[in-house]
Amino acid sequence: MKKSDLIWAICEIDEDLLRLTEENPVMKKRHTRPVRVLLIAAAIAALLAGTVLAYAIRHWDELFVESFQMEDSEKELLDGALQDVYAQTTQDGVTCTLKQVLGNERCLVVALEIQLPDTLETGTTSAEELSALAGELDLPKDPEESGSLDRKLSQYFGYDPEQTEFPDAPYLGVVGLFPVDMEKDDLLAAADARCSALDVPEAERSGVRDSIGAVIFDEAMKDYNSFGGGTIRRSYDPETRTLTALDYVESSGSLVNRPYTLVIDQLYLYSMLNFISPEDYPGAGGQELLTSPIVLNFTADYQPQSQTYDILQDGAVVGTLELSPVSAHLTFPQEPDDPNRLAPNRHDYLKDNGNLSVRMTDGQEIELRERSDGFTDVQFAFYIAGEIIDLSQVQEVCLGSYTLQLQTAEE
């Protein structure tokens, strides 16, 4: 038998297997017409905004309350930093609502709700099937260990691992939050034009979506030295078919008082079997729910709260710490003589690669989780707090085992 018979034989494998590649061809046909935008400014926004707020404490979305373990006193403290948006759009029967934004100068957190269509057919997977696959994949058996079946089910979906049946659930990809005001029609048209201009054969183009990031970068991102984002919390209620997400963006530049475009282009419905299989992302087999991205526009218009400190070492300023009630940015300036090398004193601070913790005057210690890409070669480190930090009650700040020597920076 010749080795190349393998290639010929693969073309003759059972038809049902070949159908696996049929549902969503890898090379999607290029979009030529942007889809009409359906952008609804929800009436509730008008009700909740401004003068209608007669309550002592206004409504905070549960995502914020649970993620930051908020007390009523903290809600009052942060009232100005919270913005009601309640912008809504529907795409392919999927309704996305941007409910509230909590922000400061360099970090912006959004509370999103995504409602799947009632008509969407879903199934369930039994606990036995999941356990069998977990065994086959050799997932960690300790329920507390990262990557274990229990952790995957409870952390992302909020499912109780003791359930006997696990409903199919959605997987939401990256929520893009970009400091630019582009309506969907314009965004897709620009992305389409960019895609067409690429010097690659049409058959090899994967579609207009890949170009959206490049278009936005050209429009708005060049002014930022660093711009990142991620997820704080996501959960899914199969009964109401509601996915909730708390996502954030952070930057070295100011994020307040500017328009934003929120873009979601990855939303799939997965069986739990498909979801637990890979380590990082759900595997193939998901049902794509969007034929066109969800795009929402809003303007960040909240009152940022933050306190900036100089970090001292031997009396000299070696960096800055910008602390807000929900996040922190640590910045170390580049060495002018060698921009690629970290300053020795910076190494001293960062070698523990530890999280940041804030000690309050009442003895309470609040942990902030490091969310930047790692320390070794970065100027900035970004942290999200596990609880609300009352800036007026900060006593000291520690990075790993180091207590930072701080002085309030001059405005």
> Radius of gyration (Cα) for the chain, nearest Å?
24
- Residue 204 binds other proteins (CB under 8 A): yes
- Residue 38 binds other proteins (CB under 8 A): no
Q: Which one among 221, 273, 360, 394 touches other proteins, defined by CB under 8 A?
A: 273
Q: Specify whether the CB–CB gap between 261 and 178 falls below 8 A.
A: yes
- Residue 274 binds other proteins (CB under 8 A): yes
**Least distance from C-beta 179 to other proteins, angstroms?**
26
**Least distance from C-beta 110 to other proteins, angstroms?**
22
- Residue 12 binds other proteins (CB under 8 A): yes
**Least distance from C-beta 268 to other proteins, angstroms?**
8
Site for other proteins in 184-203 (CB under 8 A): 201, 203
To 10 degrees, what angle do helices 184-197 and 209-220 make? 110
Is 73 strand, coil or helix?
A: helix
**Least distance from C-beta 27 to other proteins, angstroms?**
5
- Residue 128 binds other proteins (CB under 8 A): no
Q: Which is nearer to other proteins, 7 or 56 (CB)?
A: 7
Q: Among candidates 295, 247, 281, which has minimal Cα distance to 94?
A: 295
Contacts of 332 (CB under 8 A, 6+ apart): 318, 319, 342, 343, 346, 349, 379
Is 187 strand, coil or helix?
A: helix
Q: Which is nearer to other proteins, 30 or 359 (CB)?
A: 30
Q: Among candidates 270, 17, 284, 242, which has minimal Cα distance to 125?
A: 270
Q: Which amino acid is at 261?
A: T
# chain residues binding other proteins, by CB under 8 A: 47
Residues 278-317: x where in contact with other proteins by CB under 8 A, - otherwise, as a string = xxxxxxxx--------------------------------
Report residue 31 CA to chain centroid gap. Answer: 26
- Residue 40 binds other proteins (CB under 8 A): no
- Determine how β-strand 165-167 pairs with β-strand 124-126: antiparallel
Where would I find the beta strands (DSSP E) of 252-370? 258-264, 267-270, 287-288, 294-300, 307-313, 316-323, 327-331, 356-360, 365-370
Q: Which is nearer to other proteins, 13 or 197 (CB)?
A: 13
**Least distance from C-beta 212 to other proteins, angstroms?**
13
Name the site residues for other proteins (rule: CB under 8 A).
Answer: 1-15, 17-22, 24-27, 29, 133, 136, 171, 173, 201, 203-204, 206, 210, 266, 273-274, 277-285
